[in-house]
């Protein structure tokens, strides 16, 4: 039987999510990759236990996570939860709907009331939960009126099936527009989930980070390690047992000689700071005041241990920031 480490809350940092009362662990564990039915269940379970033992309270899912079939990550997470239900109230569990999920017009990529409400019922069943803590619309849908998407999210909160709502992959303008509707409805809208890392800074160019910081919402950012590129893993080639080596992702296309040179220069700064490259990349993302939590992925428990240790050195000197800006601008 799993018994959580009693020291789990001693080191982790918890950040307030927007202006809400909800606090998020500075690192969240995302179950997008490596939690499908093809993976090793014991490894998945070990990763969730390791994360929880280190103070990670936030676990991020979506209806379509898991290979080879959509929903298998939620099923596996439900199985893992069966061994740790006593800790349910210590966890912030999120799921999403928005991408293609099931055949036909109601489960394709959209933001309709029909899809969002049905999908959450399916997710709750797969995970064996009565409610999720945060329910997200996964991607902006230009073909559904924003009012309909907002009202569907509001509805699941009123039903008690979600405590808070979020949006994902919405830019600043889309966020501003839906927030106006949420305000009218008094929906507990607390978070936007975009991609963000040292190698992907669109939220800064778009102004989304400044907007949310000024408007009582936080960012929960995904792929903070640019799917693993911002680690020591690819500094000297592509290991076979890596996301790029296995061909699990498009991110391999980004890995050219210039990027590897940049990663090595970033690594030199990380070493000066006494950190691994992965840890510095996570500290850097958390340095943005709009970010309440970084969603890390992992293929093995040791990566979670390494990554969580970033919280031991979150601060950057002005000189370090200037050096990093120079490398990132090249
Ligand atoms: N809302 C959205 O549209 C959206 C989209 C994508 C992701 N997400 C969320 O964000 C979460 C994280 O995304 P991500 O998996 O792309 O994040 P990431 O943290 O950028 O990449 C994680 C991958 O990097 C490698 N890695 C992690 N730590 C490492 C370390 N210390 N040393 C060496 N390699 C390491 C592992 O891959 P290998 O070991 O396999 O190489 C791991 O699976 C997802 O699980 C999901 O919850 C959301």
| CA 243 to centroid of ligand 1, rounded, Å | 9
> Which ligand 1 atom minimizes the distance to the CA of 306?
31
Mean pLDDT of the chain: 97
For 112, other C-beta atoms within 10 Å of its C-beta total 19
Q: Are 310 and 275 in contact (CB under 8 A)?
A: yes
Is a pLDDT exceeding 90 seen at residue 247? no
pLDDT at position 114, please? 98
What tokens were used for 285?
A: 């993302």
Give the residue-averaged pLDDT of 79-87. Answer: 97
Ranges 26-40, 182-196, 265-279: which has the least confidence: 26-40
pLDDT at position 196, please? 98
Integer Cα distance of 291 and 224 in angstroms: 11
Whether 99 lines ligand 1, by a CB cut-off of 6 Å, is no
CATH architecture label of 14-227+278-313: Alpha-Beta Barrel (3.20)
* pLDDT one-digit tens code per residue, 99-150: 999 999 999 999 999 999 999 999 999 999 999 999 999 999 999 999 999 9
| CA 330 to centroid of ligand 1, rounded, Å | 24
β-strand partners of 145: none
> Which ligand 1 atom minimizes the distance to the CA of 60?
47
What percent of the chain lies above the pLDDT cut of 70?
100
For tokens 């509805």, name the residue. 155
Of 89, 57, 93, nearest to 73 by C-alpha is 93
Question: Residue 3: CB partners within 8 Å, gap ≥ 6?
Answer: none
Give the confidence band of 251 by pLDDT, cuts at 50, 70, 90: confident
Which comes out higher in pLDDT, residue 201 or 245?
201
Is a pLDDT exceeding 90 seen at residue 250? no
Is a pLDDT exceeding 90 seen at residue 88? yes
Whether 299 lines ligand 1, by a CB cut-off of 6 Å, is yes
> Which ligand 1 atom minimizes the distance to the CA of 223?
20
| CA 31 to centroid of ligand 1, rounded, Å | 9
Is a pLDDT exceeding 90 seen at residue 39? no
CA dist 162 → 11, 132, 138, 154, 222 (Å): 28, 5, 15, 9, 21
> Which ligand 1 atom minimizes the distance to the CA of 245?
41
């Amino acid at each position: 039987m799993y018994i959580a480490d009693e020291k789990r809350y001693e080191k982790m940092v918890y950040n307030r999510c927007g202006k809400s009362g909800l606090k998020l662990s500075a690192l969240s564990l995302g179950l997008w990759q490596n939690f499908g039915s093809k993976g090793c269940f014991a490894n998945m379970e070990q990763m969730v236990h390791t994360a929880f033992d280190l103070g990670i309270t936030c676990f991020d899912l979506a209806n379509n996570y898991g290979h080879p079939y959509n929903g298998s990550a939620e099923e596996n997470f439900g199985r893992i939860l069966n061994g740790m239900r006593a800790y349910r109230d210590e966890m912030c569990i999120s799921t999403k709907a928005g991408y293609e999920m099931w055949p036909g017009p109601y489960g394709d990529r959209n933001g309709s009331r029909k899809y969002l409400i049905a999908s959450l019922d399916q997710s709750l069943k797969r995970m064996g939960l009565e409610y999720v803590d945060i329910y997200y619309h996964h991607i902006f849908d230009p073909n559904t009126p924003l009012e309909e998407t907002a009202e569907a999210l509001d509805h699941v909160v009123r039903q008690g099936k979600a405590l808070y709502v979020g949006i994902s992959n919405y830019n600043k303008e889309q966020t501003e527009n839906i927030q106006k509707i949420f305000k009218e409805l008094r929906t507990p809208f607390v978070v936007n989930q975009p991609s963000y890392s040292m190698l992907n800074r669109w939220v800064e160019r778009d102004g989304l980070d400044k907007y949310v910081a000024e408007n009582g919402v936080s960012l929960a950012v995904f792929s903070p390690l640019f799917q693993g590129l911002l680690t020591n893993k690819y500094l000297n080639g592509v290991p076979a047992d890596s996301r790029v080596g296995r061909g699990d992702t498009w991110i391999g296309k980004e890995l050219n000689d210039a990027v590897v040179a940049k990663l090595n220069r970033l690594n030199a700064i990380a070493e000066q700071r006494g950190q691994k490259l992965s840890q510095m990349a996570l500290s850097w993302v958390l340095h943005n005041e709009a970010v309440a939590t970084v969603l890390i992925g992992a293929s093995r428990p040791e990566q979670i241990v390494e990554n969580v240790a970033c919280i031991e050195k979150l601060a950057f000197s002005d000189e370090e920031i200037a050096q990093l800006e120079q490398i990132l601008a090249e």
